[in-house]
Amino acid sequence: MAGWRTEVWLFVDPQVYCKDPDDSKGTYDFATIHTLINTCPVLHVSFNDPEHPFPVVLPMLGCTGNFQDRSADPEATAQDLYIHGYVSGRVFKKGKEAADRGLPITVAATFLDGLVLALAPFHNSCNYRSAVAYGYATLVTDEAEALYAMELITDNLLPDRWAKSRNPPTKAELSSTSILRIRIETASAKIREGGPSDDRADLKNKDLVKDTWTGVVPYWGTWGEPVEGKDNGCAEVEPYIEAWRTKETSKARNHAFEVIEK
């Protein structure tokens, strides 16, 4: 009708990343993705280096954070992703050389929760949790932000370790360490839970069912008994270390069994 204007409003959930229309199985909420990244012991970082013939994948330590709003809840707000390493590392050099937008980068976090065994190999699977984040990485040059990221990564691995060990870092330590801040553009997670899903024809084969064990073999990472270093002078493992170790191992074990029933 003449004189009328039609407007279409697209409301985007502020607590999720943009969805990929070609991915119907992905999960995009901040809580799931950031939790997977922040609890994964090793992140795999991928980028292209024009001087190398193949895509580069590096195992690294890192976690999410928000330097501008340190109280921001990672389960409900957008976050940057910080990774750190030796100053001469290839990814840090490329991050420094990158254009204003930064170095295109992909970060993956993966957990294996169990081996799912079916009647036929084709239907075997794994219970797992994975998250993949895509973004642009730039080198952190502000000392305050670099210290924030170092403390964040340290305590993400072992809570309170930063405050309960020698700090601040020396000038030599700071000059030998680089931090990349990754601005996450989009991210998604995929999770597989439950037991085997067998072919109906296989289930009707009584001999096959009788002779072939099916189910889930749970898997979880374990933090073992601490082993003292050759220069250790502390008589006992500090309680916060032991409490963290036993809690994390127990939580991982319980999760591996819980997902079987889903």
Interval 147-173: pLDDT, tens: 999 999 999 999 999 999 999 999 999
Interval 43-71: pLDDT, tens: 999 999 988 899 999 999 999 999 999 99
Q: How many whole angstroms separate alpha carbon 170 and alpha carbon 45? A: 27
The answer to whether 262 and 193 are in contact (CB under 8 A) is yes
Q: Specify the residue for token string 């390493």.
A: 85
pLDDT band at 6 (very low <50, low <70, confident <90, very high): very low
- What is residue 13's predicted lDDT score, i.e. its pLDDT? 57
- What is residue 10's predicted lDDT score, i.e. its pLDDT? 40
- What is residue 110's predicted lDDT score, i.e. its pLDDT? 98
User: What is the Cβ-side half-sphere exposure of residue 241, based on CA atoms within 13 angstroms?
Assistant: 14
Q: Examine the pLDDT at 218 and tell me if it is beyond 80.
A: yes
The domain spans of the chain are 30-261
Q: How many whole angstroms separate alpha carbon 178 and alpha carbon 146? A: 8
The CATH superfamily of 30-261 is Electron Transport, Fmn-binding Protein; Chain A (2.30.110.10)
pLDDT band at 20 (very low <50, low <70, confident <90, very high): confident
- β-bridge mates for residue 43, sequence order: 60
Percentage with pLDDT > 70 across the chain: 95
Using alpha carbons, select from 127, 151, 128 the residue that is nearest to residue 67.
151
- What is residue 248's predicted lDDT score, i.e. its pLDDT? 97
